[in-house]
Amino acid sequence: MKKITILALICFAIMQLKAQEISQTEKKGFVIISAGKNYDDIKKLAKKVAKKLNYKLDLRGLVPNKTEGLTLTKKTCENEELEFPLYVARGRYDDGNYVSIEYTNGYNGFTPDYYLIIVSSHVKGETKLNKALKHVKTYYKSAYIKYADVYMGCMH
């Protein structure tokens, strides 16, 4: 009986941890303009997109990295006491309309190893997301929304 109780407690603890892990994500929608494998080409296009849409270009301190795709600089990681390299996907407390370059490996369900030009991110179901897409489509007909779960938990 003692073994069954211990086993039940272990199972319960594992279920609690899984539930906590799931609750630390939030479904976000991203308005995407373009994707490519060459960072420099994507960055040139991102600058043009920002100008055309009159949106701020915010690269969020990310730089290309041969092994990680994108990462915060080593200095930023050291200053913030974070492990280097570190890529923090957009959608983590930084929703809104601005142009950024993101790396698909940071998002579940995205084709890996691509740089994306994202111009808007919001919680799934927000009317702001559809308004942003409608506005962007007046300039970029192929723009679309893609959804992903974004981790919102601790980073330490």
Structural contact between residues 122 and 28, judged by C-beta atoms closer than 8 angstroms:
yes
Report the pLDDT value the prediction gives residue 17, as an integer from 0 to 100.
Answer: 45
Which of 4, 3, 99 is closest to 46 using CA atoms?
99
**In whole angstroms, what is the distance from residue 25 CA to residue 113 CA?**
22
Residue 117 lies inside a defined structural domain of this protein = yes
Residues written for the chain: 156
Q: What are the pLDDT digits (tens) for 130-145?
A: 999 999 999 999 999 9
**Per-residue pLDDT at 1 exceeds 80:** no
Residue 42 lies inside a defined structural domain of this protein = yes
Give bridge partners of residue 148 from the DSSP assignment: 28
Instruction: Tell me which residue range forms the domain holding 33.
Output: 26-151
How many domains does the chain fold into?
1
Q: What are the pLDDT digits (tens) for 71-116?
A: 999 999 999 999 999 999 999 889 999 999 999 999 999 999 999 9
Residue 44 lies inside a defined structural domain of this protein = yes
Residue 61 lies inside a defined structural domain of this protein = yes
- The beta-strand segments (E) located in 5-93 are 25-36, 62-65, 69-72
* Whole-prediction pTM: 0.82
Residue 83 lies inside a defined structural domain of this protein = yes
